[in-house]
Amino acid sequence: MTRVTSAQKIAAARAEGRPALIGYLPAGFPDVPTSIEAAVALAENGVDIIEIGIPYSDPVMDGEVIQAATVQALANGFRVADVFDIVAGITARTDAAVMVMTYWNPVLRMGVDEFSRRFAQAGGSGLITPDLVPEEAGEWLEASEKYDLERVFLIAPSSTPERVQRTVDVSSGFIYCVSLMGVTGARASVSSAAQAVVDAAHAAGAENACVGLGVSRREHVEEIGAYADGVIVGTALVAALRDGGVQAVGALAAELSGAAAHSDKELA
Amino acid sequence: MSTPDHSADTGSIDEQSLRHASGPYFGAYGGRWMPESLMAAMDELNETFEAAKNDPEFIAQVKDLNKNYSGRPSLLTEAKRFSAQYCDGVRIFLKREDLNHTGSHKINNVLGQALLAKRMGKTRIIAETGAGQHGVASATAAALMGLECVVYMGAEDTRRQALNVARMRLLGATVIPVTVGSQTLKDAINEALRDWVANVENTHYLLGTAAGGAPFPAMVRYFHEVIGEEAREQILEQTGRLPNAVTACIGGGSNAIGIFHGFLDDKDVALYGFEAGGDGVDTDRHAATITLGRPGVLHGAKSYLMQDEDGQTIESHSISAGLDYPGVGPEHAFLADIGRVTYEPVTDTEAMDAFKALCRTEGILPAIESSHALAGTIRLAKKLVAEGAVPEETIIIVNLSGRGDKDVGTAAAWFDMIEPGAADAEITGTDAQKAQEK
Ligand SMILES: Cc1ncc(COP(=O)(O)O)c(C=O)c1O
């Protein structure tokens, strides 16, 4: 199996003169089969990279909407190993790059090597690790080399230049630029701090810097796309799935990616 | 009681001092397993703390507050009737942290960290609380130093510790009941961390126990080391010798690490930490993290953790809100692995029996948290005597970490002492009802 990487998808988007669109959904929300369908709907509506979050008991970087979704997934019996089936289910049906966003303890518990091996086997391209900093990532650096996985670490408006450099140096695929000081959740406007974080990542040598947190609308995608290599949308998609099911997720993805506008024009 | 099988390489503890371990790692434990967004604040805190520790002015400020505000040194009281009736005559000394201002050891850490917050120019402190003791102490320090204070408390705990909620509000703090997750201490910490990420510019997170990412474990211990230092001096003064053992209860582990610290390098002094065994460690309702947990990361540190096969945190259970936490500070995980400290569980029932025993023999009403240390001490004393120790030549110091006024409702219900029709909010909380159902 040839795995599609986030770096490939970002390069392809760049060649088309647009930022890559990255869409987040929690694994197993509302249940495992639906979470696969919803991710496929993302890919069919212009999302380049799919980010599947592993529901975790103590998600300190998540706001209410994602917390509620992951609580429900766990209540419905989600098990960490289900994420491999979900990843395999998506990669079998789309050409999107599939990443997993996970707090670190579930990976530690399974064993970093074991998790990485199974994840790579399922066709995943890499991990986004919101509570793992490079200082503690020794085991992950090793496993990601061994299984050829992308390592997406985060940088924030509060990151010092030294920390940005250190983080960029160990990242691969892209670097996740947190747009604001806060947790996940849709916001009316994109924080003005975002561009400075992206600039810092580029200055430190990052090829791909993508912006997440607070992004929920097409106009945000366009605004961020002017300076970043990719745009990450989470809460808005989770809320759409919660309220309108798979169809609503597809519709929102189409709107975010601009595909909706295109097809409107074609119809007109 | 069995010692857990923690296979780790056990470097000889004879060779080097265990005191003042600075972190960020304690053996394989500790570190900073937390979001990048908080790293700058953790660095700033670490630098501020390291500078303050070496600043005579800061040291003098802490000393002055400890003496003239908290009432330190706290007494070391020999519990003679408790010893005779419950401990087979082994001499028991109580380190009276219950006599500190606000009623527990928590004030030591809070005053120190509030001073650091001021040094960093922060105007707002946030804290988590379980029993409410740390919240009350934080609200107290905030009032004293003119800081804004927000306390996160699990909704379940706001009900079982209603008196402390009122106390915090009277002191000017905002108490936010946390309704997500299990609605107890671990979720209060999650919410506090979310607040901190969003407000780190002007806010210091005043963590209440010796857990969390570095520098919290070593820093919180530093402010509690005074407990062990005083106790060591006092026992030498009163008896002319060191104790055979020192005991403490373990929630996150701050009162324990504080008193242990004074004796870590006294190889002949045995150290015992008593965890909350809840309904028993053969049930799934307990908080015996070291006894039954396994290494993992939670709230910023690698340590023992109650978790399921998927690495999801398991909810803990204890009659004591202050011990009802599924994690434990990383230095304790290390001390367990190297065998320097023995950790054992104590059930709700054993703790409540010890609670009553101390009330009746010494006229001291202990916190239910501290009652776990008392119960473990009773067991230890009997064991030592059974093994041939001469009771009057055997000395145990118990860290009496807090007073039990906050627990009167729970205890009265447990012992079926509530007047029919009593309407006092203090003794009609959820926990009181729960205890009564037993
Ligand atoms: C009186 C008392 N003792 C002990 C504890 C447990 O905390 P730690 O293990 O950090 O000392 C608490 C916590 O609320 C407490 O109030």
Asked if B297 is an interface residue toward chain A (Cβ–Cβ < 8 A), one would say yes
Residue B157: what pLDDT?
A: 87
Residue B221: what pLDDT?
A: 98
Strand ranges (DSSP E) for B251-400? Answer: 270-278, 294-298, 300-305, 341-347, 395-400
Element housing B31 (H / E): strand B29-33
- Is 90 exceeded by the pLDDT of residue B131? no
Confidence band, pLDDT 50/70/90 cuts, at residue B14: low
The answer to whether the CB of B108 is under 6 A from ligand 1 is: no
Confidence band, pLDDT 50/70/90 cuts, at residue A263: low
Query: Of 3.90.79.10, 3.40.1360.10, 3.40.50.1100, 3.40.309.10, which CATH number belongs to B27-70+106-216?
Result: 3.40.50.1100
Tokens 């930490």 identify what position?
B273
- Tell me the CATH architecture of domain B76-102+224-415: 3-Layer(aba) Sandwich (3.40)
**Mutation to probe ligand 1, out of B95, B99, B102, B104 (largest number of atoms < 8 A from CB):** B104
Asked if B186 is an interface residue toward chain A (Cβ–Cβ < 8 A), one would say yes
CB–CB of B197 and A56 under 8 A?
Answer: no
Checking ipTM against 0.85, whether it exceeds it is: yes
The CATH T-level fold of domain A6-258 is TIM Barrel (3.20.20)
Q: What integer is the mean pLDDT of A220-237?
A: 97
Q: What integer is the mean pLDDT of A158-185?
A: 96
Sketch the domain layout of chain A as residue ranges: 6-258
Helices (H) and strands (E) in chain B, counts: 16, 14
- Is 80 exceeded by the pLDDT of residue B125? yes
Residue whose CA lies nearest to ligand 1 atom number 12:
B322
Distance of CA B303 to the CA centre of its chain: 16
Domains B27-70+106-216 and B76-102+224-415 share a fold: yes
Least confident of A113-117, B15-19, B54-58, B292-296: B15-19
pLDDT digits (tens, 9 = 90+) for B199-232: 999 999 999 999 999 999 999 999 999 999 999 9
Confidence band, pLDDT 50/70/90 cuts, at residue A262: low
- Is 60 exceeded by the pLDDT of residue A16? yes
A169 is catalytic: no
- Is 80 exceeded by the pLDDT of residue B357? yes
**Residues of A with CB below 8 A from B28's CB?**
none
CB–CB of B40 and A159 under 8 A?
Answer: yes
Confidence band, pLDDT 50/70/90 cuts, at residue B9: very low
The CA B366 to ligand 1 mean position distance, Å, reads: 12
The answer to whether the CB of B252 is under 6 A from ligand 1 is: yes
pLDDT digits (tens, 9 = 90+) for A5-14: 999 999 999 9
Q: What pTM, to 2 d.p., does this model score?
A: 0.94
- Is 70 exceeded by the pLDDT of residue B427? no
pLDDT digits (tens, 9 = 90+) for B165-187: 999 999 999 999 999 877 889 99
The answer to whether the CB of B254 is under 6 A from ligand 1 is: yes
Classify each residue of B242-281 as buried b or exposed e, where b means 16 or more C-beta atoms within 10 Å of its C-beta: bbbbbbbbbbbbbbbbbbbbbbbeeeebbbbbbbbbbbeb
Confidence band, pLDDT 50/70/90 cuts, at residue A266: very low
- Is 70 exceeded by the pLDDT of residue B437? no
Sketch the domain layout of chain B as residue ranges: 27-70+106-216, 76-102+224-415
Q: What integer is the mean pLDDT of A67-79?
A: 96
Mind giving me the DSSP string for A152-181? E-EE-TT--HHHHHHHHHH--S-EEEE-SS
The answer to whether the CB of B116 is under 6 A from ligand 1 is: no
Residue B423: what pLDDT?
A: 56
Q: What share of chain B is helix, strand, coil (3-state, %, to 5)?
A: 45, 20, 35
Q: What is the mean pLDDT of chain A?
A: 95
- Is 70 exceeded by the pLDDT of residue B130? yes
Long-range contacts of B178-182, Cβ-Cβ distance < 8 Å, separation of 24 or more = B178/B152, B178/B153, B178/B154, B179/B155, B180/A64, B180/A67, B180/A71, B181/A57, B181/A58, B181/A71, B182/B154, B182/B156, B182/B315
Q: What is the mean pLDDT of chain B?
A: 93
Q: What integer is the mean pLDDT of B310-327?
A: 94
Residue B12: what pLDDT?
A: 47
Angle formed at CA B324 by CA B322 and CA B325, multiple of 5 degrees: 105
